[in-house]
Amino acid sequence: MFRKLLSLVVLAVFALPLTAVAQEEEAEAEGLPNYTLVISSWACDISHLGEVAEQYRDTVLPVYTEMVEEGLVLNWGTYFHDWADEWNFNIYTVTTDKEAFFAAVTEAGSRINANTEDDAPNALLDYCKSHKDGIYVLGPRTQ
């Protein structure tokens, strides 16, 4: 039993990267760029989720709107789960590649800091206690 399980785990470890490469190749064959999608997920106190959303709408959305208009980011937004797990506030960013994402995050941070008072409250850090990030390469998809 253990050998069978170990064999499956080893197979999965080697098969998953090959699957990702195959998806990238399929997207390229379809003429679609392999953009980078980054998702930042936060576990927030549900009773303060409205405050987090409002602060992001007022403070962060205008910065990313400018950055999309400037071509630094392809798309940016937030979403909240209606029925899911503890990761109830999520931010997504789509860029041409990982390097563009890291440059965009740095630029956004500079712009947000320039527009925000040093002692301004930060709803995200005040009400969201856990955080995780994922960086993905977009594969086959609709136009």
Are the C-beta atoms of 50 and 128 separated by less than 8 Å? no
Same domain, 16 and 38: no
Residue 65 covered by a domain? yes
Cα–Cα distance for residue pair 11/130, rounded to 1 Å: 32
Same domain, 15 and 48: no
Number of folded domains that form the chain = 2
Residue 130 covered by a domain? yes
Q: 4 lies in which domain range?
A: 1-31
Q: Please tell me the pTM assigned to this model.
A: 0.77
Residue 97 covered by a domain? yes
Residue 91 covered by a domain? yes
Cα–Cα distance for residue pair 36/94, rounded to 1 Å: 6
Q: Among residues 125, 68, 112, which one has the least CA distance to residue 94?
A: 68
Same domain, 6 and 53: no
Residue 142 covered by a domain? no
Alpha helices in 37-128 (DSSP H): 49-55, 61-69, 98-115, 123-127
Q: Which comes out higher in pLDDT, residue 15 or 39? A: 39
Residue 89 covered by a domain? yes
Are the C-beta atoms of 41 and 131 separated by less than 8 Å? yes
Same domain, 19 and 78: no
Are the C-beta atoms of 86 and 45 separated by less than 8 Å? no
Question: pLDDT (tens digit, 9 = 90+) per residue, 68-124?
Answer: 999 999 999 999 988 889 999 999 999 999 999 999 999 999 999 999 998 899 999
Same domain, 61 and 77: yes
